[in-house]
Structures are given as structure tokens and as C-alpha cells.
Structure 1
Amino acid sequence: MSPRPMTRPGGRSARVQESVHAAVRELVAEVGRDVLTVPMVAARAGVTPSTVYRRWGDLQELLSDVAVERLRPETGPADLGSLRDDLEAWAEQFLDEMASPSGRAYIRDALLGDPDGTNAGQCSAYAAEQIDAVRDRAARRGEPVPDTEAMMDDIVAPIMYRILFRPGRLDAGYARELVAHALNRL
């Protein structure tokens, strides 16, 4: 099966995607994901099951697609006036959202229905875009800024590792320590 496009579709395709995604979110809230089926989603979305199978392949890929969309940041990072303050606020929010029960479920779904790594790459791109926004503001203020990939390695990667494998110490203090470590490289 060919990979899905990462851009949002337009027209009928966008309406189908939105109605199917909404159906998944509603049904997960109502009946839970363990009993969810493609025919249930299709009926709620007002499409045929073949439409869902054709577009997403199977239920896990659909859940993964919904998860990736839910993991997309809704707003840009806060502008608190300095690179350190902006990064700390962003890292705390990122950790809080990803470590929450719903964040963990979205991470799990995004990875389980992602045989080629496309969804993981998209989630990583979301974090990099947020870091780039913080970096760009800091650079405009004349502050020295670390490389985006270095910040991904120093802040995002340890947070995700702890969420997935060592869930202790997922708090604001940990996020601030990661930011301090990243900025000490400057």
C-alpha cells in the first residue's frame, strides 16, 4: 500500500477524513478502542467500510492516522521573552501532553499503525517545527541558539524515551533540567 500524503486533503477527501476521524474519536469515547471496528467507524462517519479500508488499510492504520492528527500542536509555543523561558515552557507542555494517558494512547496508536515510520517522522516534525519557532524568535532577539537536531536529541528524545520505557520522573523539573543541559552546549 502506498504511503498516505502528509498534507491535508481538500474537498470531498477532506470531508471523508474529518468525518472518519470524528467518528473514531466519538466511538473511542463512547465504547472504547478495544471494541472498535471499521464497520462501526464507517457507519458513524456515513461512509462504506470499503472507503475506510481503501484509504487506511486497516483499523490500526486508521487509529494511527487519527493519533498523528491529535498529536499535531494546536498553537505555537509561548513567547516568554527568552530562549530559556520559551524552551522551558514548551518542554514542560510537551512532556505534560505526551505523558498524559491520552498522549500515551496517541503515541502507542501512532507507532502501532506505522509500518514504514511515516507517522513517527511526522510526529517528530511537529516537535521540530515547535523548536524552530522558539529558535527563530530567540535568533531575532540576538540570542545564541543551539541546532534544532541537538535540541531534539537533548530535550525531545529523553522525554519520549522516559514516556515509553522509564516513566518515572516525568515532571516539570525534569523538563527544565533537559533544557538547561541543551543550553549548556552553547
Structure 2
Amino acid sequence: MAIREPIRTGGRSARVQQSIHRAVCELLATQPRESLTVPLIASHAGVTPSTIYRRWGDLPTLLADVSLERLRPDTAPADTGSLHGDLLAWAEQYVDELGSEPGRAMVRDFINSGAACQCSNLLRGQLQHITERALQRGEQAPAADLLVDQLAAPMVYRVVFSEQLPSTAQLKVWVARALAR
């Protein structure tokens, strides 16, 4: 099930969504993820469980929506002055965030809810921002989709399926390969 987009950006609907998101975050700060239930979240948020089911459909979709909101960057990717430097800085930060226990839990939320494409769109958007900035500086830059395939995909694979996170040396190799002509 996909995460449903809000009908309105403000008003009561937005306040209810914020209350539910806040309840999820507060509960996650005090108890294990496995103990969360829709009735518990609804009670904490001051809404009925049917409000959550109507908006999100199920618990995994709600958790993915909360994770997606937390995953949205607050700022643009770091500008180091070069495409290579920007990609390496982005990759290091991405692995650091995604490789943490909360980051891995977010990945599980996306997979369990069927909302992984929305996470992918955020990732692609960050890489698009980096490549557009490089083009404005007069640098050659590959398409964001190529960077997804050659840089992000191996990073995510290692974070999700490997016992060890990619090292900075490995990230440098992937960045160099993605930029090779």
C-alpha cells in the first residue's frame, strides 16, 4: 500500500497528521518499535484508531510515512566546491544516517509498507540537486539516475544486506566509477 498524499496542506487534517507523527516519534523514543500498535499511537495522539486506518491503512504504512518525513533533508547537500567532493560528502552522510539502527529501521518501514519508491524519489532528488549545482559550476555531471545505479544502489545494498557498512575507501571507489567517462 502506498502512502497517501494529504488532501490539504493545512487545517485540521494537517494538525491531526502532525499529532500522529509526533506520537509515533515520542513512543519510539521510549519503547521498542515492535511494541507499537495503531491503538497505542491513536491513544497517544488523541485520535481514534479509525483515523489512522483511514489515512494510512496499516501500521507499516504509518511508520514509513513518519520515516519519510524524518528522511527529508532539512538543508541542501553539502557544497564542497566540486562534484566529486559533493558526492563523497553526500555518500558519507547517507551511509552514516542509513547505517544507524534508526536508519535501518526506516529502510524496513519503507520495504514493509511498499513505499520504497518514495524514498528512492528523495534520494534521486538529492543527487539531482548535486548534479545541477555541478553543471552550474561548469563541471561535467552524469545523470542522477546513473548515480542512483552506480553510487546509491551499492551503498543501500551494503547497508541493508551486509554486516559491515561501506568504508570511506569503498565510497571513494564508487564515486570515482560513477564519474568515470
Which TM-score band (shorter chain)?
Answer: over 0.9
Alignment equivalent of 2:131, drawn from 135, 155, 177 = 135
Amino acid corresponding to residue 34 of structure 1 in structure 2: E
Scaled by the length of structure 2, the TM-score of the pair is 0.93
- 1:41 counterpart residue number: 41
Runs of 4+ in 1 over 4 A off after TM superposition: none
**Is residue 2:65 matched to residue 1:65?**
yes
The equivalences for 1:107-146 within 5 A come to 107-114=107-114, 119-146=115-142
The percent of aligned pairs where both chains have the same amino acid is: 50
Gaps of 5+ in 2: none
Tell me the CA shift for residue 10 of structure 1. Answer: 2.3
Gaps of 5+ in 1: none
2:73 match: secondary structure: coil
Amino acid corresponding to residue 170 of structure 2 in structure 1: Y
Native 8 Å contact 1:92 1:176 kept in 2: no
Q: 1:182 to 1:16 in 2, by over 3 A?
A: same
Scaled by the length of structure 1, the TM-score of the pair is 0.90
- 1:82 counterpart residue number: 82
Tell me the CA shift for residue 6 of structure 1. Answer: 7.2
Amino acid corresponding to residue 103 of structure 2 in structure 1: G
Tell me the CA shift for residue 168 of structure 1. Answer: 2.3
Native 8 Å contact 1:60 1:113 kept in 2: yes
Q: RMSD over aligned Cα, in angstroms?
A: 1.8
Tell me the CA shift for residue 134 of structure 1. Answer: 1.0
Deviations 1:62-115 (A, max 9, x none): 11211222222221101111111111101111111111111001110121122x
- 2:106 counterpart residue number: 106
**Is residue 2:92 matched to residue 1:92?**
yes
